[in-house]
Amino acid sequence: MKPRLALRAAALAFAALATTACGKITVPAYLNLDQNAGANAMTIDLSNTIFGSVQPQLVLPLVGGIHGKIVVDTSKLLSSPNGILGTIVGDQITIAGPTEPFIGSPTGDTGTLCVRQDPNTPTTGTVLIRLDNKSKADLNFAAQATSSLIALLVNGGILPLDTSADDVPLQIDFLKLLQFNLNGAIKTAPVIQGNLPADVPFIGGAPYTLEIHLTSSTKASSDPLFADCSSFFQGN
């Protein structure tokens, strides 16, 4: 579809949403890691640690997804040419990663990585929805991770992973939303950078890059690795 026609179609869809769902609406959705859109992984830079000369980085592939909701006030839709603001609240993270070789582990590997929502701090954000393919979001992820390696290194066996990303581009298919079809209606690919907590033995403070490709769905992601993480996902 040509850009001008796409913009017109989006405007019509948005106008229809404004008239059919006037007022504040809540859109619950799963945002699943899309394995077809690109690599989903956390890469830890070990170059400045004691392992750097042997293993300069540790790449942890990821599967799973996030569940949450977007709340927007569509009554301001047609009167806001610069877009409308909404809020994002995530209430569930179910992400896992296969065991990977790691020279610093007594077993020689990381063990299965399990990542869940921090039960005390929700994942939050804001979203700016526009018709011109310039929608974007600010995201604040509040997560906790564990693995057999983390259990050895961190007191309590749980590593906090609080990360954020600003001005993350969103792809929104307004025609799908008009049809109440969330499957593939929202896509985003944040690249998040941070540092491991400084008190983690041997690799504390190491920088990491989290690259994920999220696609909305009506169904939760599933993977055989979740069996290894079921107890952790349930809060144990």
Give the pLDDT score at 22.
57
Number of Cβ within 10 Å of residue 165's Cβ equals 19
Question: What is the rounded distance in angstroms from the CA atom of residue 189 to the CA atom of residue 234?
Answer: 27
Structure tokens at 9: 């179609």
Nearest of 150, 125, 20, 32 to residue 70 by alpha carbon? 125
Question: What is the rounded distance in angstroms from the CA atom of residue 18 to the CA atom of residue 79?
Answer: 10
Nearest of 226, 225, 117, 206 to residue 153 by alpha carbon? 206
Which amino acid type is present at position 172? I
Termini Cα distance of the chain: 49
Give the pLDDT score at 23.
67
What are the mean pLDDT values of the chain's consecutive 10-residue runs (236 residues total)? 46 49 78 94 97 96 95 74 88 96 93 96 92 89 95 94 93 84 93 93 95 95 96 92
Nearest of 79, 175, 182, 68 to residue 127 by alpha carbon? 68
Which amino acid type is present at position 207? P
Give the pLDDT score at 77.
65
Residues 6+ apart with CB under 8 A from 89: 68, 69, 71, 122, 123, 124
Number of Cβ within 10 Å of residue 181's Cβ equals 13
Phi-psi region of 5 (alpha: psi -120 to 50; beta: other; left: phi over 0): alpha
Is residue 13 within 8 Å of residue 174, measured between CB atoms? Answer: yes
pTM: 0.87
Give the pLDDT score at 49.
96
Q: Do you know the residue count of the chain?
A: 236
| Residue burial 211-220, b: 16+ Cβ < 10 Å; e: rest | bbbbbbbeee
For the purposes of burial, counting CB atoms within 10 Å of the CB of 83, is it exposed (0-12), middle (13-18) or buried (19 or more)?
middle
